[in-house]
Structure 1
Amino acid sequence: MTTFRKDWLLVITATGPALLSAYFSWHLVDGGGWFQRSGSLMVLFAAWLDFRQARLLAEASPEQRVELSLLMGLSRAQDDPRRVWFQRLAIWLLITGTVIWGYGDLPFR
């Protein structure tokens, strides 16, 4: 399995439970409990994706290494744009999962 296929599998695994549980929480009227719990799964798989991206960058040869500054949005020309995109997506999923985990039951009340 290629590297990017594994990354996409982690993205789908992170978002899938949240989407399914949101659907079932609306139709089963369980108070959003399952949706809220799905936030923890999103955080788990997003952290895995983020650690994976960091490891792949750390294992790169010195010529391939880059200095990333996600807070400033800077990257060099030799950055693989897909790798940077997956890192930013992982951070976004971590934040979203944390919000769902903490407040996911509120829309269902």
Structure 2
Amino acid sequence: MGADHSQAILSDLRKSFSKDYLTEWTLTALAVLPALGSLLLSWLLSDGGTWFQRAGSLMVLFAVWLEFLETRKVAKTRHQDIEASLLVNLPLTSDTPVELMFQRIAIFMAILGTIIWGYGDLLFFWQA
């Protein structure tokens, strides 16, 4: 069971790098890269973390956008599943592991971005 489970996880991870998920990866990069860049910029400029703190709001913005896209995709899939199950009496399918992964990434980025947005300047207490 362990090897089969690992193979399934690797297969799902490979699927996440397909063209179907380009928007999700782009939004993830748009959320993470400004935060990392502004962390470095705030450190180099000794600005007390101002740029890093502002990047937290961008992280939240892109995380919410990612969650919105994933929620809309899941709702559309479930709507189609409901119509199909009513016609041929099939059970409803659940979210794919890749969709669940992006939903978890979005939630994590929204929480982390909120913390950075609110308290990011406190990481630079020695510069104040």
TM over 0.5: yes
Matched, 1:41 2:55: no
Find 2:81's aligned residue among 62, 69, 75.
62
Aligned to 1:82: 98
The alignment yields a C-alpha RMSD, in angstroms, of: 2.0
Q: In structure 2, give the amino acid aligned to 1:22.
A: L
1:107 and 2:118 matched: no
How many pairs does the alignment contain?
Answer: 98
Q: Which runs of 5+ in 1 are unaligned?
A: 64-75
Shift of 1:78: 4.8
Give the Cα–Cα distance (whole angstroms) in 2 for the partners of residues 3 and 91 of structure 1.
20
| Of 11, 16, 22, the match for 2:28 | 11
1:97 counterpart (113, 117, 120): 113
Greater fraction of residues in helix: 2
* Equivalent residue, structure 2, for 1:73: none
Q: Give unpaired runs (5+ residues) of structure 2.
A: 1-17, 83-91
For residues 1-56 of structure 1, what are the alpha-carbon distances to aligned partners after superposition, in whole Å with 9 as ceiling and x for unaligned? 93311100000000111000000111110100000000000000000000000000
TM-score where L is the length of structure 1: 0.83
What is the alpha-carbon distance in structure 2 between the residues aligned to residue 107 and residue 87 of structure 1?
28
1:14-25 matches, cutoff 5 A: 14-25=31-42
Q: Distance in 2 between matches of 1:81 and 1:38?
A: 29
- Residue 80 of structure 1 and its aligned partner are, at CA, apart by 1.1
CA contact (8 A) 2:81 2:93 kept: no
> Structure 1 residue 27 and structure 2 residue 44: aligned?
yes
Q: Give percent identity, aligned residues only.
A: 49
